Amino acid sequence: MAGVFDRLQKQIEDKQSAGGITALDLVDLPPALRKIMRLMLRKMQLKYPELCDAMDQMADDERMSRIDLDNTLDTLVQQAWLMQIGEGDRAIYKVNLRRKSGSTLAAGIWENLDSKLKGKPDS
């Protein structure tokens, strides 16, 4: 029987492997989602009360209501832009950045280059 922490760790790992974002993806976001993501990218991880405080400090024309903030956070979590740990006022949100893909170079490329360079006469 898996414990609570094992289940939470599995959820975190599942969410981390489920995509994530790149900087280019931000351009396509609607303004409300982009606003939250810009804030999140500055800190990489924020607790829900910290997000609320940051929203309260924004100018009137940029500020979101709590309902709009909650809906925006839910959307970002569903679309795998953010990872949510916990719920309600104790929730912690983390940015879900995509892993960089590994090199697609053939495994022996460096040996081939070395052998070609060694075969060249010095100039």
Can you give the pLDDT at residue 115? 77
Cα–Cα distance between 102 and 4 in angstroms, integer? 33
- C-alpha of 94 from chain center: 7
How does pLDDT run across 51-97, given as a tens digit for each residue? 999 999 988 888 899 999 999 999 999 888 899 999 999 999 998 87
C-alpha 3/C-alpha 91 separation (Å) is 20
User: What's the rounded mean pLDDT across residues 13-41?
Assistant: 72
DSSP, res 97: B
Q: What is the pTM of this model?
A: 0.61
Distance, CA of 2 to CA of 31 (rounded, Å): 41
**In the chain, where are the structural domains located?**
4-119
The residue ranking higher by pLDDT, 103 or 26, is 26
Kindly state the DSSP code that residue 96 receives in the 8-state scheme: -
pLDDT at 18 over 90: no
Q: How far apart are CA 82 and CA 63, in angstroms?
A: 20
Please state, in angstroms and rounded to a whole number, the distance separating the CA atoms of residues 95 and 81. Answer: 6
Residue % of the chain over a pLDDT of 70: 66
Residue pLDDT, tens place only, 85-107 = 999 999 999 988 765 444 555 55
Buried b (16+ CB within 10 A) or exposed e, 79-108: ebbbbbeeeeeebebbbbeeeeeeeeeeee
pLDDT at residue 106, rounded to an integer: 57
Whether residue 93 contacts residue 33, with contact meaning beta carbons closer than 8 Å, is answered with no
Pick the CATH number of 4-119 from 1.10.10.10, 3.40.50.970, 3.60.9.10, 3.40.50.620: 1.10.10.10
- Backbone dihedral angles phi then psi of residue 45, each to the nearest 5 degrees: -150, 130
